[in-house]
Amino acid sequence: MANSMFLPRRRLLLTATLSAAVLSACGGGGSSSSAPTNVTAVAGDQQIFITWDQASGVEYWLWFNTGTTTVNPGDKTASFKLSVGSPYLLNMDDRSAALVNGTIYALTLNGRTNGGPGGPGSTPVTATPRLSGDNWPAGATLGSKTLRGIAFGRAIGSSSNNSYVAVGDGGSIYNTPDTDADRIYRSTSKLNWITPTGTGVSSSIDLKAVVYASGLGNYYAVGTGGNVVYSSDINNWTTLGSSTTGTANTFNAIATNGSTLVAVGDNGTIRLSTNGTSWSTPTSISQDISGITLRGVTYNNGIWVAVGSNGKVLTATDVNTWTVSTQSGDLTSVSSGSQTVDSTTTYYYIAVGADGTVLTSTDGALWTSASLGATLYTASVGSRLVALGANGAVYTRELDGTGGWTQRTSGTPGATMYGAIRAQNIYTAVGSGGSTIYSY
């Protein structure tokens, strides 16, 4: 009997009788199920969100094909997934290669009970994956305080599942519940969020940013008073004060390469840690930055980049040695990511500023400047570059720069976004008044 893991395409081509074997399944004396109803397929970025009316006791199989508008259960050229439940996210994790944006996919479902033969397929539906970033509906509102950072990492009590964590003013912390239906995007509906019930963070600490360090197995958030807070389970948080971090200056941002942490903040503050509990200062910075407010930091492809006021951009390949350059703008945030096409990976860095400045780079050294005429506080890199900020400002640009920057409409037009992340091929941003927006 086949298990619930994806079966490679080559097995589907072995014999002309495989489809019949799959449909008849493995003994059991069960029965087939009627064709599933109300099947919908909504395109995402390299993925498709699928829903249907799920009946109790029925095992559903999903069949899908590319470049066609029809597909039937048992088609020899079709790919399939066993034991799926509604809602279902068909994405790159389910295939040896990602779903291809711009390619049409036809999908059908059939079902059985108690190991019986597969029943008839539902009426095929189609969807064509496309880049995210065009539309930005409002997500859940998380309390009333301003949220300033968001991370994606290990779920409560799990070593393999992931959740979102958002932090903000007054020690605010929120996370998505540790259930498949709630903790990740399984449909186009907004995420659900809860507040941790364990040891929290003092309301006197405004949390400015959060990351998940996979190599250390913890979430780390930074904030006012030189405080760093961390948690291995999202639920219980430990606070490290200024006596441990060596500064009472506000930390505005934190980044990680998985095993090393870099936190930056007011008055040119930079602190480093390889274990999350002991912190040190860099041994070398190429110029005095004590008058600079550092507001963003990121890591990608062996390069750390930090940004701040007066257009300062700091780079390092060794966290103890930083080189300072002056670009342009009153920089508030920096983000990075990569894209691989035909086995060639290109790395992208984007910094944004309160004066509307946008700096872009593919190496962290040579920067191109643009101005969007909006107050910008956060950015993200995915299949596109994204810049967000005050009064619902959202802009996107293709990675190769073609077409320039395009202004998008926010689902929370009066809100200011301060933190953004790209995870699950979806952008999620958090901001003022507990507001959230997302783009799938």
Nearest to 319 by CA among 292, 366, 283, 351: 283
Tokens (6 digits) for 117: 């033969």
Domains, the chain, ranges and CATH? 9-127 (2.60.40.10), 147-439 (2.130.10.10)
On whether the CB atoms of residues 124 and 104 are closer than 8 A, the answer is: no
Return the bridge partners of 131, or none.
Answer: none
Q: Tell how strand 426-431 and strand 417-423 pair up.
A: antiparallel
**How far lies 125's CA from each of 49, 173, 229, in Å?**
12, 40, 47
Phi and psi (nearest 5°) for 209?
-165, 160
Q: Along the 440 residues of the chain, how does pLDDT read in single tens digits?
A: 333 323 333 333 333 333 443 444 434 467 889 999 999 999 999 999 999 999 999 999 999 999 999 999 999 999 999 999 999 999 866 555 679 999 999 999 999 999 899 999 999 999 999 999 999 999 999 999 999 999 999 887 777 788 999 999 999 999 998 766 666 787 788 899 999 999 999 999 999 999 999 999 999 999 999 999 999 999 999 999 999 999 999 999 999 999 999 999 999 999 999 999 999 999 999 999 999 999 999 999 999 999 999 999 999 999 999 999 999 999 999 999 999 888 899 999 999 999 999 999 999 999 999 999 999 999 999 999 999 999 999 999 999 999 999 999 999 999 999 999 999 999 999 999 999 999 99
In angstroms, the CA 319 to CA 260 distance is 9
In angstroms, the CA 290 to CA 316 distance is 18
Query: 3-state SS of the chain: helix, strand, coil percent to 5?
Result: 10, 45, 45
- pTM greater than 0.85 (yes/no): yes
On whether the CB atoms of residues 140 and 149 are closer than 8 A, the answer is: no
In angstroms, the CA 427 to CA 410 distance is 13
Tokens (6 digits) for 179: 């259930």
3-state secondary structure of 182: helix
